[in-house]
Amino acid sequence: MHVAEIHEQMGLRREVAGDFGVVNVEYLEVFEAVEGGAEGEIEDIVGEVEIIHHSLHRCNDWVARLIAFCTRFHAPPSYTRHIFDSAHQPDVVVFTNVLRYYSKYGVIDEIFGVFEKMQECGLKPDACSYPVLIKAAGKNGFLFQSEIIKMGIDSGKYIRNALVNAYGKYGPIDAARQVFDEMTERSVADWNAIISGYWNWGSECEAKRMFDLMPDKNVITWTTMVTGYSKMRDLENARTYFDRMPSKTVVSWNAMLSGYAQNGFSDEALSLFNEMVSFGVSPNETTCVAVISSCSSRGDVAVAESVVKMIEERGIRLNPFVKTALLDLYAKCGGLEMAREIFDELGVYRNLVAWNSMISGYTRNGDVISSRELFDKMPGKNVVSWNAMIAGYAQNGESSLAIELFKEMLEKGIMPDEVTLVSVISACGHLGALELGNWVVDLITAKEVKFSMAGYNSLIFMYSRCGDMNKAKTVFHEMEIRDVVSHNALITGFATHGNGVEALELMRRMKDENIKPDRITYIGVLTACSHAGMLEEGKEVFESIVVPDIDHYACMVDLMGRVGKLDEAKKMIQEMPMNPPAEIYGSLLQASRIHKRVDLGELAANKLFELEPQNSGNYVLLSNMYAAAGKWKEVDRIRELMKTRGVMKTSGMSWLEHDRKMHVFMVGDHSHERSVDIYRKLGELKRKMKCLGYVADKSNVLRDVEDEEKEEMVGTHSEKLAVAFGLIVSEPRSVIRVVKNLRICWDCHTAIRMISKLEGREIIVRDNSRFHCFKNKSCSCNDYW
């Protein structure tokens, strides 16, 4: 029976007032009645308590007993504290009981506050107090052992057991073993403590040896072995010990279930749960958490809901942990409305997991605004909270916001972990922010963060996306162990730089090392062949794929289109074993533009207008083809079609990093603080280029306007503005790196080639297709993109 229910039945106030002593006695009588099964006699008890003297509560024996009952019946902390404070001169027993109360509910600060008061009263802990203090002190528990020895207190069995547990948890494990060996008599609890300690420190052999030496084992012993092996991801041995158990409790079943759930064996967990129910074992809240977690891994809402229903039918209340697990499940499965309902229902019981799950759920669904609102309201954030929000920004294309939040995290003194840094490094890669990326790498070195394979793979990705293939290769070759993702990251880098030969060579070495290429590997190699114009090599790779998927076909259509084999590309599209998606026709449309095949361009564009009617890029490409051919009526028709369908043209933008800040430019942009200097520089460059024979390519201007106006329009494209700014602010001879959100136009490509010669600079431009490395009036794409 809960305290509130007792008050309700007895008609008593919850507030403790002048009759506090009577309330104490009434509580005691009621607790004893409940303990003795006399709940139906509460009215008689109320009548009898009036004969008890009001000052009886001042007796330490009564106070100690009342606090013990509070511990047993989950009395509110405020009420328990009132009882404790009512004792004018509490003795050691009273102090010990209140220490036990706070220990049970994990209120560590209160434990040491009581301990200080105990010392102020001139009382010293006894053999019953020390176990509580040792447990509460955590890694500093050994200090109490020194005090016990110094004071000559007999280290009773409870103290010794507490020391074994403390050393087993916080180390050194040898000290735990020494205390254990010094025991003249060992209880089952002592054996369990040392076995658990060895598992905690990963000492499987010692844990197993102690288990085999243990004379009498109980269900906790067997469960400890199951839990130990599960933590080491050895589920086979965990299951062996589980199956060998002479008897099992619900805790034993939960240990095995949690082992499966926490190690990603969701099918095995659900199968074991069904077995548990068939044996007639009643699941509890812990069972529910493990099963819901397994359902979360599988994305199976229906099974989780059936488990919750079963729990509720057995009259078991869903505690906050179960509700949090359910919230996490709904958030991962896209059921954000249900997840938010549970989140709001939790109220004051929301823990970090609940907040983090909700934030991740929103970002996973692309709603970074709602995610950030929750993040800002969160009362206490841990590194997982920051990771969820930073990763959310990075995964939803908000790389700049991810980096800004990372900087804020550092300013608040939160130490990032590998997960944080992988997200930030990836964001730097997407932005092409090499300076920021190098700053993060320096931070990793300074903080001595240990990187796993995933961390190194993110570095390869970042350097590749920032155009520094030398560093990408260095990271790759310095890795002691490489997986398929490592190879794919570097192959994809080679592909975007048009290094077909290196991509093919890396795949060959990959096979020699017995690392099997996956679909991403083949996409990378085929893309590299396409950008390098290596048709025969590409065909050979394609034919080696056992079952090519739609992306592999898209790469081949792109490859054949780039080298001018447009009719072959069309034939492949017609003979594909699946319905061609938009990507296929997009490649054909782009190839038709390059090779001026208006007929095929119209065919591809009309298909694209059906498949993705709101993609402005398809309309623009076809308009460019018509404009290049002087078909202005067709240009007007396409522009009118865009208006009718409400299609907005994607604005071209370019950005460049300077002093770890991204500077963004739009076509004809005058908003930059150094706009006057930028246009002055462009004017100088234009005059110099004309002396070298530069003539603006106006074929892609969408309007039938005067040549002078056309030249002005192409002359202020965003990538030209970014390059001019880079020339102004960077050191002579340094590399300029620009990123553009669309494909670079022919005029800008020609102009930047000439600028690289005039300024003696290497200029690297990453557009939405590939890298263009301009140097000495040539480009790495060989004018083929």
Identify which of 571, 574, 516 has the alpha carbon closest to the alpha carbon of residue 546: 516
Percent of the chain topping pLDDT 70: 88
**pTM beyond cutoff 0.95:** no
Instruction: Report whether pLDDT(58) > 70.
Output: no
Cα–Cα distances in angstroms (integers) from residue 13 to residues 6, 43, 362, in the given order: 10, 16, 44
Instruction: Report whether pLDDT(71) > 90.
Output: no
Question: What local confidence, expressed as pLDDT, does residue 54 receive?
Answer: 44
From the number of C-beta atoms within 10 Å of its C-beta (0-12, 13-18, 19+), residue 487 rates as: buried
Give me the DSSP letters along 108-147.
HHHHHHHHHHHHHTT----TTHHHHHHHHHGGGTHHHHHH
Give me the DSSP letters along 257-274.
HHHHHHTT-HHHHHHHHH
Cα–Cα distances in angstroms (integers) from residue 579 to residues 249, 494, 497, in the given order: 56, 30, 30
How would you classify residue 597: left for phi > 0, otherwise alpha for psi between -120 and 50, otherwise beta?
beta
Give the position of tokens 């609890």: 189
Q: Which domains, from first to last, does the chain contain?
A: 1-123 (no CATH), 554-650 (1.25.40.10), 655-779 (no CATH)
- Name the DSSP class of 612: -
CB 566 within 8 A of CB 591: yes
CB 145 within 8 A of CB 137: no
Cα–Cα distances in angstroms (integers) from residue 765 to residues 112, 743, 768, in the given order: 62, 10, 10
Give the range among 40-49, 88-97, 759-768 with minimum mean pLDDT: 40-49
CB 219 within 8 A of CB 251: yes
Question: What local confidence, expressed as pLDDT, does residue 29 receive?
Answer: 46
Distance of alpha carbon 611 from alpha carbon 491, whole angstroms? 30
- Give per-residue pLDDT as tens, 140-165: 767 677 666 655 555 667 888 888 98
Q: What is the mean pLDDT of the chain?
A: 85
- Give per-residue pLDDT as tens, 689-702: 999 888 887 665 54
Structure tokens at 121: 């009263």
- Name the DSSP class of 783: T
- Give per-residue pLDDT as tens, 412-437: 999 999 999 999 999 999 999 999 99
Query: At residue 451, what is the residue type?
Result: F
Sheet-wide strand order for 661-666: 661-666, 653-658, 736-740, 762-766, 771-775, 778-779
Question: What local confidence, expressed as pLDDT, does residue 293 receive?
Answer: 82
- Give per-residue pLDDT as tens, 329-364: 888 888 889 899 999 989 888 889 999 999 999 999
Element (H, E) at 364: helix 352-364
Question: What local confidence, expressed as pLDDT, does residue 315 receive?
Answer: 72
Residues 6+ apart with CB under 8 A from 7: 13, 14
- Vertex 497, ends 492 and 501: CA angle to 5°? 80
Q: Work out the number of other CB atoms within 10 angstroms of the CB of residue 65.
A: 18
Give the position of tokens 């030209």: 720
Structure tokens at 86: 């009512």
- Give per-residue pLDDT as tens, 551-598: 999 999 999 998 999 999 999 999 999 999 999 999 999 899 889 999
Give me the DSSP letters along 488-549.
HHHHHHHHHTT-HHHHHHHHHHHHHTT----HHHHHHHHHHHHHHT-HHHHHHHHHH-SS--
